[in-house]
Structure 1
Amino acid sequence: MAARRSLGFTLIEIIIVMALLAILSTALWSNFISAINKGKDSRRKQDLKTIVEALELYYNDEAYYPLELIWGGSLANPDDASLIYLQKIPNDPLSNRSYCYDRSDENTFIIYTNLENPNDSERLSIPVTCSADGLEYNYVLKSSNQE
């Protein structure tokens, strides 16, 4: 009796290969999503630093911080509109949601946002509430004259 020769793959071989592909694609997708979140968090941090720098310039000229910020608008000198500190105040990269700006008095402010990466070393372990909107945030930057 002649040995039977198979030219195809067995069902078990196909199942094993598909399982390996599923595991690999899940791992790659997870890394891809994590990289996207880290990128958005990096942008959030840079946005807040840019806003803080503009607010400090404003404070140096006016001796007070603005009462509010118009997200998507500009930050200009109230006495000289041609003096622009920030052309466009950025929004959060996730949709067009704004950051939270809280001016406690004319000499101090805090800007809040939420970071998506749970392993970010700068992320607050306990979220804090922004009194301007009542929502909780896990990353803040403060005015230079505040602890």
Structure 2
Amino acid sequence: MVTKVSRGFTFVELMVTIAIIGILSAVVFPSLTGARERARDAERVTEVGQIALGIELYYNTCRAYPATLTTSANNGCPSSITLATFLPTIPVDPKGVAYGYGTASGAFVVAATLETTNHSSLANDVDTTVGGVACDDAGKKYCKGG
């Protein structure tokens, strides 16, 4: 009597494996999309802080805030000093949108719109309107200013 040795997987084993992989990916995928949004928001918060620091350094030298958020901005400083002296490049939002900037009455604000609601940074930001830039937690606006 000759017995045939079977090598490989049966159809049922393959289907069970595919079903398990499908269930696992359905559970994991939604959490990964939230991670991307949180990562972009973390980048926005960091970049807004960098811009605000550059503007404060500019203010310490020139005793005025730049009128616009451009590297060539010069507001009452010697011509050799521009915002680029302290901030060589202006960061851009991860989605390519420019950050908001407003200045008025000896104050300034830099704003970014976050993707996630109830981001932890919204509790420690500026919630006011400066130079036409409105900063409110309801609109997911993260703002830093001086």
Which residue of the partner structure matches residue 85 of structure 1?
86
Point out where structure 1 has 5 or more consecutive residues left out of the alignment.
1-5
User: Which amino acid in 2 is paired with 1:117?
Assistant: T
Render the CA deviation track for 1:33-84: whole Å, top value 9, x for unaligned. 22222221111011000011111111112222111112xx466674143560
- For residue 66 of structure 1, what is the aligned residue in structure 2? 66
Deviation at 1:12, TM superposition (A): 6.7
What residue in structure 2 maps to residue 3 of structure 1?
A: none
- Letter paired with 1:19: A
Map 1:65-144; keep pairs closer than 5 Å.
65-70=65-70, 73=71, 78-81=77-80, 84-94=85-95, 96-103=96-103, 105-123=104-122, 131-132=132-133, 137-144=139-146
CA RMSD in angstroms, aligned pairs only:
3.3
CA distance in 1, matches of 2:42, 2:73: 22
SS in structure 1 at match of 2:49: helix
More moved, 32-41 vs 6-15? 6-15
- How far apart are the structure 1 equivalents of 2:119 and 2:20? 31
Unaligned runs of 5+ in 2: 1-5
**Structure 1 counterpart SS, 2:121:** coil
Between the aligned partners of 1:92 and 1:22, the Cα distance in structure 2 is 34
CA contact 2:69–2:101 (8 Å) conserved in 1: yes
Q: Give the TM-score, by structure 2 length.
A: 0.68
Q: Size of the alignment, in residue pairs?
A: 132
Note if contact 1:110-1:141 (Cα within 8 Å) is conserved in structure 2: yes
Opposite residue 21 of structure 2, the aligned amino acid is L
Aligned mates of 1:128, 1:14 — CA distance in 2: 59
Higher normalized helix content (fraction of residues): 2
Name the counterpart of 2:30. 30
Please report how far the alpha carbon of residue 102 of structure 1 lies from its aligned counterpart in structure 2 after TM superposition.
1.5
